[in-house]
Amino acid sequence: MADDEDYVYDEASGEWRPASELAAAGDVRKVVDAAGNPLVDGDSVTLIKDLKVKGTSQTLKQGTVIKSIRLTDNDEEIDCRHEAVKGLVLRTEFVRKRG
């Protein structure tokens, strides 16, 4: 094990693993927004269309900013926090990465 090697936290196993090992295993996921920009945990995104929230009478308007997203096991969905809706999950096809 080299001292200068980068390590990545593997949430599935709960261990720190060498980045080269994860890349070789194909565990590196690529989650992208509607424009093809890569998304990572903590990014801020903007909605690209009005979205009616299931189970409520709430509609999130186009241009709404969602901060601090979290990636899920599904590459097409992200966990979000919004003051109007708790437990919000959005599809990546309806968001665009900010900045």
What token pair was written down for 65?
């900013």
User: Distance (Å, rounded) from C-alpha 99 to C-alpha 94?
Assistant: 17
State the pLDDT at residue 22: 61
Whole-structure pTM over 0.75, yes or no? no
Provide the mean pLDDT of the chain.
Answer: 85
Give the 3-state secondary structure of residue 94. Answer: helix
User: Distance (Å, rounded) from C-alpha 42 to C-alpha 40?
Assistant: 6
State the pLDDT at residue 23: 62
State the pLDDT at residue 87: 86
> What domains, with CATH codes, occur in the chain?
1-29 (no CATH), 31-97 (2.30.30.40)
pLDDT band at residue 3 under the 50/70/90 scheme? low
Q: Is the pLDDT of residue 27 over 80?
A: no
Q: What is the pLDDT of residues 37-78, one digit of tens each?
A: 999 999 999 999 999 988 888 999 999 999 999 999 999 999
State the pLDDT at residue 36: 93
State the pLDDT at residue 89: 93
